Amino acid sequence: MRPSILRRLFRRVASTATLALVAATLSTVAAARPAAAAGGLEQVTGFGTNPGNLQMYEYAPAGLPANAPLVIALHGCTQTADAYYTHSGWPKYADLWGFAVVFPQTTSANNALSCFGWFDPAEDTRGKGEAASIVQMVEYAKQQYGSDARRVYVTGLSAGGGMTADLLAAYPDVFAGGSVASGLPAQCATSQSAASGCQTGPQKLTAAQWGDKVRGSYPGYSGPWPRVAIWQGTSDYTVYPANATALRDQWTDVWGIGQTPSSTDTLPGNTTRSVYNDADATGKPAVATYSVSGMGHGLAVGPGSGTGQCGSTAAYFLNTICSTYYTGVFWGLDRGTPGGGDRLPAPSGLRVTAVTAHSASLSWNAVPGAASYTVHRNGTKVASPTSTTYTDTGLIAGTAYQYTVTTVDGSGTPGTASPQVTATTTGGTPAQCFTATNYAHVTAGRAHTTGGYTYANGSNENMGLYNVFVTHTLRESPAGHFVIADSGCAT
């Protein structure tokens, strides 16, 4: 579609978020899921005066104890609370780690494309509009579940990410942390006409000027500040990667810690993580950026049953890495400590030292303070050695296995997981790889369909919608067992 046509369309759509979001999301309007609650997701009415005219949906595991954390999850344009609940992975970790999740929903009554008003001072500032409605949902959920007021977090995608940044700036007394996925810096735009420029290239401000936008959102507030995770695809042409840089500059300046990372490492899905520790004696992570190489506009998900795998693919839910898992760990939801900075670091140097037809040997570098280590194979715990070597036995010949290792301190508290390595056992029938559309995989007997979605035979991994527009690489090993291998298919 020509830019001139898009501009005319933009002017005709009342309160539309931005021209770029129109271009990116028109293709999914017809496919948007209905607003009706899914299994486990419940709508709440009467949560407050609701000045922003939002809908509230919530999910909480059975038997949730008092003083558990609370997460607010904001969908992107054309999406719904149900879609975010279904594909983002948050319900999995609510069950696993024990917390409640609120899914606010805006509708076409507020915005023609159901975008949160991250660019509108009447919606995204303290005490006003949608921002005030979301905080009313927080207060309602805290009373309903007895949630810990010190551990309330907010996350969002795209327009929801922009609103997340605005909420962190306007309500740092409410939110202990946030996660902005493919989103915008706080108060990047204060009008609809300025919004498009923010997406394609935010203002070239200094870190202090970006920080001032946060400090100006709640004058007189002196901290503590929220801990902020920033997720961005390097091939995002809807919300350009420059926004992640601006977000990094903004929140490191607020924390007063500069823009040089304390550490950088590599995660699955071609993801680079840079961590910026706070300046106090404990040096907890205050800001972290996650740059996903080659990913476009969307929320990073990593379907699978492993602890670090989550979500399912759909429009703007992209199969790369489970961002929800790493966000939860960054906040400390996996053990209830905001920031997670008191956990031991990941073992470095994890490597495969030997393989046979039925075993794989690993080694890694020692971590000071570690009482033991936990070895995970394909996301499942298989051993807890006290040494820095381990041999995994009873494996299938000619099969690839993924391993990570986590440190455990003397109190039994797990640390950060290492980057993943792959060990392929010898012998057996060589693995085969197949790249095709979901429709072709089903036709060839490598996958099956349920409820309009495609699942790999054997592993049952969610491959996304059953159509000819979604393509995956499947690796077969052993015979009849298929796993998604989009990031590389070693045979």
The DSSP bridge partners found for residue 153 are 71, 177
* Three-state SS letters, 274-341: EEEECCCCCCCEEEEEEEECCCCCCEEEECCCCCCCECCCECCEEECCCHHHHHHHHHCCCCCCCCCC
158 is catalytic: yes
The DSSP bridge partners found for residue 454 are 449, 464
Amino acid at 252: T
Kindly state the DSSP code that residue 94 receives in the 8-state scheme: I
78, 297 in Cβ contact below 8 A? no
Closest CA to 245 of 274, 221, 217: 274
Kindly state the DSSP code that residue 48 receives in the 8-state scheme: S
Task: Say if strands 55-59 and 100-105 run parallel, antiparallel, or are unpaired.
Answer: antiparallel
CA distance 219 to 207: 18
Provide, for the chain, the percentages of residues in helix, strand and coil under a 3-state DSSP scheme, each rounded to the nearest 5.
25, 30, 50
Max CA separation in the chain (angstroms): 67
133, 158, 291, 418: the active-site residue: 158
Quickly tell me which residue has 């719904």 as its tokens.
80
Residue 482: which region, alpha, beta or left (left: phi > 0; alpha: psi -120 to 50)?
beta
CA distance 428 to 431: 9
Torsion angles phi and psi, residue 93, rounded to 5: -80, -25
Provide the sign of the torsion angle of the four alpha carbons 244, 246, 251, 257, taken in this order: positive
The pair of structure tokens assigned to 158 is 């795209």
Torsion angles phi and psi, residue 8, rounded to 5: -65, -40
Residues 6+ apart with CB under 8 A from 141: 58, 70, 100, 102, 147
Quickly tell me which residue has 């298989």 as its tokens.
382
Catalogue the active-site residues: 158
